[in-house]
Structure 1
Amino acid sequence: MTPERIWQATLGELELALQRPVFENWLKDARYVAFEDGKYIIAVKNTFAKEWLEQRLRGMIIRRLERLNGRSVDVAFIVRPETPADPEPARAGSPLLDTALEPTPTGRFQRTEFSTESNLQPYRSFDNFIVGEGNRFAYAACQAVAQNPGTSYNPLFLYGGVGLGKTHLLHAIGNAAAQEGYNVRYVTSETFTNELIEAIRTHTNVAFRQTYRNVDVLLIDDIQFLQGKESTQNEFFHTFNSLAAASKQIVIASDRPPHLLTRLEDRLVSRFGGGLTVDLTPPDLEHRIAILQAKAFEKTVIVPEEVLRYIAEHYNDNVRELQGAFNRVVAFAQLHGRPISLDLTKKILEPHQPKLDNSPDAILDAVAQEYNITISELKGSRRTRRISVPRQMAMYLLRDVAQLSFPQIGEYLGGRDHTTIMHGATKIEKSLRETPEVREKLERVRVRLKD
């Protein structure tokens, strides 16, 4: 066999020998380059993948190559250069970055920028969703819907506990469909309700209905919160019927299956069950380790296998908690300039470790240090973004960690009205659900409070 075919055979053996997430994350995209002086040159997608393979799998790969070659060989990993896609020519007289849909050479349409009306988070895609046994069917169904909206599995109803990937899959569907030129809208049931109330108040019901009934793909999150809201349920029922009649795709996410939404109208529950209902279950140990490996890859940090296993074994129900534990370990190690080890991980995560310092002064000091501002600025009246975001973080932590009332927080922060405090804390809560950077900032502040 030629060296290239030997490498392909080795990849086949490795795919059978390794856990599926490990193979797909680290070896699936590895490419044969050359065989020089008894050494296989293999190209991988980036520096972190190169280091990971050298440290974790190099010995296993060499053993299989030697067996297939019948002699001693070596392997070297290199980072393959990125090949930029050919840019499409801009239309005469139009700006380079145009939010309109442009035809590609294949005749399909491609959106060069996500519409602000879609509410989509571009960083949530199928590519960075880690697949395991608990979500494999849901992942496949979502891909099918994204490829052909409105033609199969309509509606698609996803359900499962907190932090299992429902919201990620909704955004992945939306992003994939938007790239093909479909008009997409993601919304939570709470936002749908608030917009309906505002439409009634301002007599803009027609505009509200056009917003939701003229989309190609409607993604509704946390549908369980429509329970008990009769007017909103009635409006959503007619929106659902209008979209379904036009063969438009509807995808719904909930924390429970349709038949357990006991305070929803029967006619809605019946329609939810008329398509495909898929559950997402908590990830098994191998899946949790794969998720942590992907997080390490994303942050370009090298974490010992024993640390990943320890975290995965102790956080087994909720992916958000799993990732939160990982972020705490990484943040602590980076802040203190220490290598990540099993002993350090146990110190940070074990429940018998010291609690967070919940004194208001400690919280303000930690926030000020993290955002590189002064305590007087936090308590002052300036409203620039550099000050207002840390101040809102302080409001959230004074409520969550120090357990102060809103009026107490307002008084502590320079005599602010309690409604201002409520708004600031709520804004951070929303950002924590939607923005990874804010979650990382919160974890780093918590690390400071634990130090």
Structure 2
Amino acid sequence: MSNNHLGVWNRCLSVIKDNVPAISFKTWFEPIVPIKINNQVLTIQVPSPFFYEYLEEQYIDLLRKTLRKEVGNDAKLEYVVVMGNNQSDAQPYTVKYPTTNNSKLQNKPLNVPLKTEGKPSIKNPFIIPGIQKLQVDPQLKADNTFENFVEGECNRLARSAGFAVAQNPGGTAFNPLMIYGASGLGKTHLGQAIGIEVKERFPDKIVLYVNANKFQTQFTEAVRNNNRNDFLHFYQMIDVLILDDVQEFAGKEKTQETFFHIFNHLHQSGKQLILTSDKPPIELKGMEQRLLSRFKWGLTADLQVPDFETRMEILKRKTYKDGIEISEEVLEYVASHIGNNVRELEGALVSLLAQSTLNRKEVTIELASEMVNKLVKSSKRELSIDYISKVVCDYFNMPVDTLQARTRKREIVQARQLAMYFSKSLTKSSLASIGAQIGKKDHATVLHACKTVNNLKDTDKNFRVFVDEIEKKLNM
């Protein structure tokens, strides 16, 4: 019968389907197209050399037993590899099993070298030369661990979710985990920390970190070399994919389409996706709606600008790690004047140490001030409410937490009013925001505090000294 090959292959599939997981069957057997059967030789079409090689490595025994059961002990298999949507798209490559006598064939493994005509396929990206297939370099920086990621209110949700994902990749509700925030707040660090933790807990899992720009370059190269399917199948083999700066896909329709298929396959296979972006999904422009909707399937967590305490902890850890001693006063100055970017904060510390070492100067407030003036463009720097509160409380020798206490003690009320006064004049924060952070008060209380401070400055000499001295500390 002219369509006998269809019946043979369908019977083989019915057996194979009962012996492999559903997702594996869908990925590796449903795309196969039976072409013909002639003299107990079944010809099947597969979409890429990589596809053929994977079948040979993972399912050769099952294929052998099934085919011989349906066709007989003399059964042979022939692959036609077509890189395209149909056979007219490209010249097929043909792989045949060697013709030998029957007794030898039964004891001979069916996998043979792939003989092709035309251009050889490109290597899968990131595979280490000379090492067994899919021993993938995860592209992770060793220092980007959870231990080196300073936790604070600004990043607690994202860090906690990331650690949960690392303990059970693909098994939590946080899939995908999308981390967003401005440049320099630690998105790459946190994404790579997840990857490092997964590799430590599950060494056999295939983890890969890739920047969206590199993914785009690889995809373009794969299309140019007619190896799009190889590219697609490689990424579909990853267990934990960390894609950094996904906003770079904006306007690149073909790349988005390819990543859409990779995303679907990984998600349906129970694999883990971690994405980072400079904006939440709702604000990403130039992205396909179907892709954006998938970004929202799991958890979207933001990284905010670190507060003063977190910035201090970052500086302390870095000086401890590098074995350097710097006074708390200098660290406080740096932390208070460079607050919007962790990368800039660490860079400022490196610059300060370099100036001190090269010029043989002691690391002082004055040196820190010179360094900050060079690094920070604006001469009038906005301080944080946290730092202002700390300076005021240090001046009166009281803990910062005292400002949050519900008490009418004169010295505490006065310190709270001064903190509100300087926060209004030295920051761009709203009255409501200032009140919420200092004593959990409303905007009317902040207005009253500012009026009170202005009145006392004019009528109380001692109080005016307090204001002048605190202002000097804040403007250092």
Scaled to the shorter chain, the TM-score interval is 0.5 to 0.7
The 2-side partners of 1:194 and 1:233 are apart by 13
The alignment of Structure 1 onto Structure 2 pairs a total of residues equal to 244
The 1-side partners of 2:135 and 2:153 are apart by 34
Q: Relative contact order: is structure 1 or structure 2 higher (C-alpha 8 Å, sep ≥ 6)?
A: 1
Query: In structure 2, which of residues 156, 181, 188 is the aligned counterpart of residue 167 of structure 1?
Result: 188
Query: In structure 1, which of residues 117, 128, 138 is the aligned counterpart of residue 158 of structure 2?
Result: 138
Query: In structure 2, which of residues 226, 232, 249 is the aligned counterpart of residue 209 of structure 1?
Result: 232
The 1-side partners of 2:372 and 2:293 are apart by 45
Conserved? CA contact 1:183–1:216, under 8 Å: yes
User: Could you tell me which amino acid in structure 1 is paired with residue 148 of structure 2?
Assistant: N
Work out whether 1:241 is the aligned partner of 2:241.
Answer: no
User: Could you tell me which amino acid in structure 2 is paired with residue 189 of structure 1?
Assistant: A
User: 1:120 aligns to what?
Assistant: 140
TM-superposed CA distance for 1:351, in Å, is 4.3
**Counterpart secondary structure, 2:309:** helix
TM-superposed CA distance for 1:228, in Å, is 0.3
User: 1:342 aligns to what?
Assistant: 365
User: 1:280 aligns to what?
Assistant: 303
User: Could you tell me which amino acid in structure 1 is paired with residue 141 of structure 2?
Assistant: Q
The 1-side partners of 2:376 and 2:143 are apart by 34
The 2-side partners of 1:353 and 1:280 are apart by 22
User: 1:320 aligns to what?
Assistant: 343
TM-superposed CA distance for 1:116, in Å, is 5.9
User: 1:155 aligns to what?
Assistant: 176
User: Could you tell me which amino acid in structure 2 is paired with residue 309 of structure 1?
Assistant: E
**Counterpart secondary structure, 1:186:** strand
User: 2:69 aligns to what?
Assistant: none
Work out whether 1:263 is the aligned partner of 2:286.
Answer: yes
Work out whether 1:251 is the aligned partner of 2:274.
Answer: yes
Q: Structure 1 segments of 4 or more deviating over 3 A? A: 351-354
TM-superposed CA distance for 1:294, in Å, is 0.8
CA RMSD of aligned residues (A): 2.3
Work out whether 1:184 is the aligned partner of 2:207.
Answer: yes
The 2-side partners of 1:240 and 1:317 are apart by 33
Cα deviation, 1:316-369, whole Å, max 9, x if unaligned, reads: 111111111111001111112222111221122224999xxxxxxxxxxxxxxx
Conserved? CA contact 1:184–1:215, under 8 Å: yes
User: Could you tell me which amino acid in structure 2 is paired with residue 301 of structure 1?
Assistant: I
User: 1:129 aligns to what?
Assistant: 149
Structure with bigger gyration radius: 2
TM-score, normalising length: structure 2? 0.49
TM-score, normalising length: structure 1? 0.52
Conserved? CA contact 1:347–1:353, under 8 Å: no
User: 1:309 aligns to what?
Assistant: 332
Cα deviation, 1:363-416, whole Å, max 9, x if unaligned, reads: xxxxxxxxxxxxxxxxxxxxxxxxxxxxxxxxxxxxxxxxxxxxxxxxxxxxxx
The 1-side partners of 2:212 and 2:226 are apart by 21
Conserved? CA contact 1:159–1:256, under 8 Å: yes
**Counterpart secondary structure, 2:199:** helix
Work out whether 1:229 is the aligned partner of 2:252.
Answer: yes
The 2-side partners of 1:215 and 1:129 are apart by 25
User: Could you tell me which amino acid in structure 1 is paired with residue 263 of structure 2?
Assistant: F
Question: How many percent of aligned residue pairs carry the same amino acid?
Answer: 41
Query: In structure 2, which of residues 353, 366, 369 is the aligned counterpart of residue 330 of structure 1?
Result: 353
User: Could you tell me which amino acid in structure 2 is paired with residue 276 of structure 1?
Assistant: L
Work out whether 1:193 is the aligned partner of 2:216.
Answer: yes
TM-superposed CA distance for 1:210, in Å, is 2.3
The 2-side partners of 1:133 and 1:168 are apart by 17
TM-superposed CA distance for 1:207, in Å, is 2.1
5+ unaligned residues in a row in structure 1: which ranges?
1-99, 101-113, 355-451
The 2-side partners of 1:239 and 1:339 are apart by 55
